[in-house]
Amino acid sequence: MSLNSITDGLDQRIISQRIFERVKPFCIQLTQEALTSTFNESKVVSLLTSIEKELKSVNEDDSSQGYFLLPNVADYVFFPISNLLKKPSLSDAIVQHILSIIGYLVEHCWILNPNHVLFDQLFPLVLYLIEGDSGAKSQSIGTKPLQFKVSAIYSLNQMVSSLDMSYFQENGKKLHLLSRSISLALDILTSTKATDQETITLLVNCCSLVQSLLSKLDSEKRSTILPGIVSGITNFVTLNSSINYRLFRQIIRLLSSIICTSFSDKDLHAELKVDPVADISDIQTVWDDDERTLDGSEKSDISIQEHGYRTMPWLKATSKQLKITLVILFKSLLLSSRNKDRLRTRSELGDEILDFVVSVMSTCFISLYAEFVPIALDICAITVFASSWENEDSSTRIWNICQRIMEALDTGVEKCKAYYEVVRGKLSSLIDNKLSAIIFSTDEEKVGLNLIVIKLHFAMLAQLSWKQEADLNDLNLLRKRCLRLLSEMVVDHVRLESSHRQSTGTSSLTTNENSQNSLDNIELPGHINAKNVKKSRVQTAVGIPYRHQLQLISSQWNRIPLPSENDLSVGLGSNALEKSLRSIVSFLSKLKFKCGEEELGLSDLEELLGDSVNSSTLEKGVALWFASNFAKSNLQKSHDFNPSEFLNLEESDGIIGDEPNEATYLLLIKAEDILDDFSDKSGYSMSKEEEVACVSAMEAISCVVGTIPLTSFRSDVLMDYLLYLFQALTRTDTPRVQSQAQHTVKSIVDCYYGGSISTMIMDNSDYLIDAISLQMTVASNLTPSLPGILIILIKVAGIQLLESNQLFDIFSDMFVILDSYHGYNQLVEGFFVVFEVLVEQVKSMYLGNSTAIDNHESNSSQFKPWGMTSKEQLIYFLEDKSHIDLLSRFDSEKEYFQRTEDKPFGEMAGDSDDEEDEESDESETEDQWSSPIPKSIYDVLKRVFNYGFTLISQPSYTLKAQIIKTLRRLFPLLCTDYKLVLPIMASNWSVLMALITASNSLSSSQEMRTALSWEQINITIESLKFVTEILNFDRCQEEYFFSRKFLEMWSFISKHSELLSHSSKKEHTTDLVLAEKALSTFRSFPALKDALVEFLIAGAQNYEKTIPDLTRFELIKLCYRLQIPKTLELTRDTRCVLEVLKTNAILAK
C-alpha cells in the first residue's frame, strides 16, 4: 500500500516535517528535565500537554485525515518519554499524557507493518503504566481520574487494533496480556457512571475494546472468560438507571458476540432429543416469577462433543448462570423509566434486542435449549412492553417478532418441533399462573407486561403450528381455556368489588317525597315514629334531585358529547383492566383466521356463552361481554358486502354469509335474555352485577348492528327493546348504562337511519308509543325513567309525533294518571318537566325565536283597520291592495245572490234555510282559528295549563316551583289566542293571589305564625314574576282585563298580608308602614323585594287610568320606600309621582 493512497495525496514527509518542527522545542526541554535528578512535575506535565496538543493539532486540518508519521519522527517524540520512564515513580497526570502520546504514535506510525518485537515491549509497558506498581495494587483503575481512564482505553484500543490474532496465538504467555486488558476494561466499565457525553464515549470505547480483545481469541478461550464478562456488564447495567443509546447498542452487540461464539451449536456439535408431550394435561411445568422462565423436570436430552474446557457439566452450569444473569440484566436494562423513554423514541434499540435474540436462537438453539430458549420470548415481550406507548396496539410487533424467530429456526424441522414443546408448556403455565395477575393486580405495568407475554406465546405457538402443518387442537384448547379462566376470574373480581358497595334502595315515581315518617318508601301511621323502628334505608346515592336529573336530560340532550368506543366502560374493573381484556380477547379472536377458518365459528361463541340456564345475571353478562368482543372484529357488516360475490348466480348453491348471521342471532338471543330480566323493573336502582349485565347486553346489540338488514333488525330488536334503550338513556344515576345506551343508539342511527334519530323514532313510533301507553296503564310501571323517555321523544321528534296525532294518546294517559296519582309529587313533578319540554318544542316550531304573540297580518280590533298595534301591521295594511281597490276581489263569474227561477225579487219571502246558512257562515267566521299553533296542540297546552293551577296547591315546594316554571313558559303560547286564556286566568286568579302572598288560603282571619322558609320565598318570587308577566301581556293586548283583578290583589296584600300593615297609631289615614318581619325578610331576600316592586309598578303603570289616584299614589309611595330597581322602565306619570316624593319628605314618610 503506497503512502500517497493512505494520506490522500499529502506527502508523508511534509506532515512529519511539520510535526517535527512543532514538537522539537518541547521535546528538547522535556529531555533536559527528564535527565535531571529531580524534575519539576508541573513543568513536565506542561511539556507533555504541549507535545500532545501539537501532535493532535494536525487533525484539525481536514486534508490531513488518515496521515502517518515517519518512524524517525515517532522515535524522536518517544525518546524524552523513555527517559521519563526511567524514573522510579510517576504521577497519574504524567502517566495519563504518556499513555495518550503512546496511543497516538501507535495509531499514526507503528500500526503500519507492526513490529512484534516493539509490541512485545510496548504492550506490557502500557499495562504496567495503567495498573501501576505491583505494590500499590490497592489503588485500582476505578479510582483513577476520568482523563486517565480515557487515555488508558485509547492506548489499549490502538495497541489491540494493531495486532492480529496470530500474535497472541504464537505464544501462550501473550494471552496473559489479553486477560489483563479485559480485566482493566471491565474495571473501568463497572466503576464509571454514564453522566455526560465524555463518560459515555469512554464506556462505548471500553465495550469496543473488550469486543476487539475477544476477537483475538478462539471460541474455546472465549468460553472461559464469558461468565466474568457477562457478570461485569450486568453489574454496570444495574448501577446505571439511564444508559445512552450508543452504549445500549454496544452492550447488546458485545453480549451477542460472546454468547454466540461460546455456545455455537456448530462448534459444540450439539444435538437435541426431545420427548414430545401428547396431551397438554401431561405438561408439568413451574413458572419462576423471579426469572420469568420454566424451571422444572427436564424433558430434553442435549449432547455436545466435549473438547477441552467445554464439557457437559460446563454447559449446564454456565448456561444456567447465563440465564440468571441475563434475566437480571434485561430487567434493569429495559424496565427503568429512563430507558423505557429511550426505547420508545429510538426504535432501533428494540430492533437491536430482537437481533440479539434471533442471533442466539439461530446459533445456539440446541446448546442453550434448556436455559435461554424458554426466556427468549420473555425478553422480546419485555422489549415490546418497554418500547410501546400507552394504549399502543402491540399486535403488529408481536407478529413481526414471531416471524423473525421462525426465520431463525427455519434451518431444521427438529428445532421447530422442540421449540413447539417449549412454547406449549410455557403458555400452559402462563394461563394457569399469570391470568390472575391481569385481573386482580393493581399494578398496571405488571398487567400490561403479562398481557404481552401471553399474546406473544399464543402468536408463537400459532406460527409453529402452521409451520409444521400440525393439528391445531392444542392451540384451540389453550385459547378456550384462557378465555374460560378469564371469564371466571372477571366474575369473581366484580363480585369482590360489589361486596364493598353499599346497597341502595329502589326508586319509584309513586312515592311521596314529603313524607317524613316513612320506612323503605312505606308511609307509617302518625303514632309510629319511623326513626325509632330502625334507621331508614339510604336512598339512591345520586347527588342531584330527581327533577334536576330530568332537566339535565332536557337541557344537555343536544350538547352531551358522545363517548368514544374506547372510553366506554362496562364495570368489570378499572378502565385499564377493561382495555387489557378487550385487547387479549380481540387478539385471540383473530388467531382462528390464521388457522385457516374463513368465518366466525359458532362453537367458539357457544362455549364462551356457556349454559345460561343455571347462570347468575352477572355470569350471563360477563360471558356475553366476552362473546361480543370475541365476535366484534369478525362479524361482517351488511355495508361491507362485495356485490361481485353475489353476481354469479349459477354457482351460488346456498346462502352466503349464513354463519355470521347465526352468530349475530346467537348474540342477540343472549342479550335479549338479559334485557328481559330488566324490562319489568326498569327504572329502579341497579346493583353492580346488574349494571355489568345490562351494559354487556347493550354492547352486544351495538356489536351486531349492521350485520342484518333493517327489516330484520327492526322486528327482532327495535320492536321489543327500543323502549328499553331509551329508558337506559335516562339513567343519570348509572353513567355506564347511560353512556353505553348513547353509543348503542348512535350506532343504530348511523347504520340504519342516516344519522337521524328522529327518523328512527318515526319509523318505530307505532310500537314505541304503544309500549309507553301500556306502561302507563300499570301503576308499578310508573318508574322514574318514564318522564325521561317522554322528554327524549319530545326533544327529538315531538312536533312530528304531534302532527301525526301519535302523542295525543300519551298525553291523555298522562292526564288520567295525574287525576289518579296527583298525591305523588315526584310523579307530577316529572310530568310537568315533560310539559315544559313540550312547550319549548311548540314555541320553537310555531313561534320561532320571536317573543311576539301577534301575527302582523291579523288585526283583531272590531274597529279595524283602526286598532293596529305594531309597525308590521301598518306595513301589511299599506301593501294590501284590497283596501284601495274595493273591486279587486270581485269575481264576475260568481253568483253572489240566489233566487228562485222565474220569480221577481220582491216576491221572494224570507227562507228559513237561508237564515240558517247565514248563521252557520257567521259561526264559521267567529270560529276561525287565529293562533299560529294548531288547535289540537293548543287544546293540549290549555289542558296542561288548567292542570297546573289544579295541582299547584300540593304541599311540595319543588312541585310548586316546577309547575310555576311550566306555567310561565306556557302562558305566552296560550296568549296567541288571548280570548281563550282569559277565562282560565279569571277562574284561577285567587290561586295566584295566594301564591304571591305566600298564603295557603285567602281567608282574612288567617295569620302567619312563623317566618317564611327559603322555599316559600322562592315560590313567592316566581309567582310575582308570573303575575307581572300576565299584567304586561294584558297591556300588550290593550284589553286591560286584569285591571280590577290587580286592584283585588292590592287590596288583599295591603289589608291581610304580613308584608304590609296599617298604622294603628294614626286615625283616619290610609298610610301603610312596613312590618318589622317584612323588613327582615326583604333584607335577607332582596330578590323578593325587587319582584314585589316590579309587580306593583307594572300594575300601577299598566292600569294608571283605571286606578284611583290615591291608590296609585300609595302604590308608588310604597315602591319608593322599598327602592325601585334602576333597570325598571318607568312612565312619565310614575316619574312625576316619584319626583314629588323626593322633594316632599313629609309625603314620603
Residue-wise pLDDT for 537-554, tens only, equals 333 434 566 666 676 666
Burial 195-212 (b: 16+ CB within 10 A, else e): eeeebbbbbbbbbbbbbb
The pLDDT tens digits for 350-377 are 999 999 999 999 999 999 999 999 999 9
Residue-wise pLDDT for 1045-1058, tens only, equals 889 888 888 877 66
What is the per-residue pLDDT for 1010? Answer: 57
Least confident segment among 420-424, 521-525, 1124-1128: 521-525
More confident residue, 347 or 904: 347
| Cα 507 to Cα 678: distance, rounded to the nearest angstrom | 15
Cα angle vertex 867, ends 864, 872, to 5°?
95
Distance CA 109, CA 74 (A): 7
Give the pLDDT band (50/70/90) at residue 1071: low
**Grid cell digits, residue 369:** 435449549
1028 neighbors 1091 (Cβ within 8 angstroms): yes
- Percent pLDDT > 70 in the chain is 75
For residue 538, what pLDDT is reported?
37
State residue 286's pLDDT score. Answer: 42
Higher pLDDT, 1040 or 515: 1040
C-alpha cell at 416: 421447530
User: Considering just the CA atoms, what is the radius of gyration of the chain in Å?
Assistant: 48
Given a cut of 50, whether residue 509 has pLDDT beyond it is no
pLDDT bucket at 642, cuts 50 / 70 / 90: very low
Residue 923 buriedness (CB in 10 A; 0-12 / 13-18 / 19+): exposed
Of 980, 964, 1073, the closest CA to residue 1029 belongs to: 964
DSSP state of 714: I
Reported as type and span, the H/E element at residue 244 is none
Phi, psi dihedral angles at 1074 (to 5 degrees): -80, 130
The pLDDT value recorded for residue 850 is 53
**Predicted structure pTM score:** 0.76
Q: What share of the chain is helix, strand, coil (3-state, %, to 5)?
A: 65, 0, 30
pLDDT at res. 1005 = 40
> In the predicted model, what is the mean pLDDT of residues 798-822?
85
User: Residues with Cβ < 8 Å from 244, sequence gap 6 or more?
Assistant: 194, 200, 204
Q: Which residue reads 501532535 in cell numbers?
A: 55
Which pLDDT belongs to residue 512? Answer: 46
**Which pLDDT belongs to residue 1146?**
65
**The pLDDT value given to residue 398:** 92
Cell of 288: 419462576
User: What residues does 293 pair with on adjacent strands?
Assistant: 288
pLDDT score for 858 = 53
Confidence (pLDDT) at 805: 82
Average pLDDT, whole number, for the chain?
80
Q: Beta-carbon neighbour count of residue 1012 at 10 Å? A: 19
Res 436 pLDDT > 50: yes
Range of lowest pLDDT (727-736, 874-883, 1095-1104): 874-883
Confidence of residue 295 (pLDDT cuts 50, 70, 90): very low
The Cα 1077–Cα 1140 span in angstroms is 28
For residue 527, what pLDDT is reported?
44
Output the pLDDT for position 661. Answer: 77
pLDDT score for 290? 41
Q: Report the chain's terminal Cα–Cα distance, integer Å.
A: 123
pLDDT tens digits for 14-51?
888 888 989 899 999 999 988 887 878 899 999 999 99
CA–CA distance, 268 with 246 (Å, rounded to integer): 32
pLDDT value of residue 37: 79
At 288, give phi and psi (nearest 5°). -90, 110
With cell 513490529, the residue in question is: 115
Range name among 171-175, 969-973, 1076-1080 with the lowest pLDDT average: 1076-1080
Q: How many CB atoms lie within 10 A of CB 741?
A: 24
Q: How far is CA 754 from the centre of its chain?
A: 26
Sign of CA dihedral 146, 152, 154, 157: negative
Helix (H/G/I), strand (E/B), else coil: 415: helix
CA angle centred on 340, ends 336 and 343, rounded to 5°: 140
Among 17-26, 47-56, 289-298, whose mean pLDDT is lowest? 289-298
842-896 confidence digits (pLDDT tens): 998 888 755 445 444 455 554 556 666 667 667 776 766 555 555 555 666 666 5
Residue 1139 has pLDDT above 60, yes or no: yes
The sign of the torsion formed by the CA atoms of 94, 96, 102, 107 equals negative
Closest C-alpha among 230, 257, 253, 423 to residue 353:
253
* CA gap 271, 159 in Å, rounded: 40
DSSP secondary structure letter of residue 637: P
The stretch 980-997 carries a mean pLDDT of: 90
Nine cell digits for residue 590: 383473530
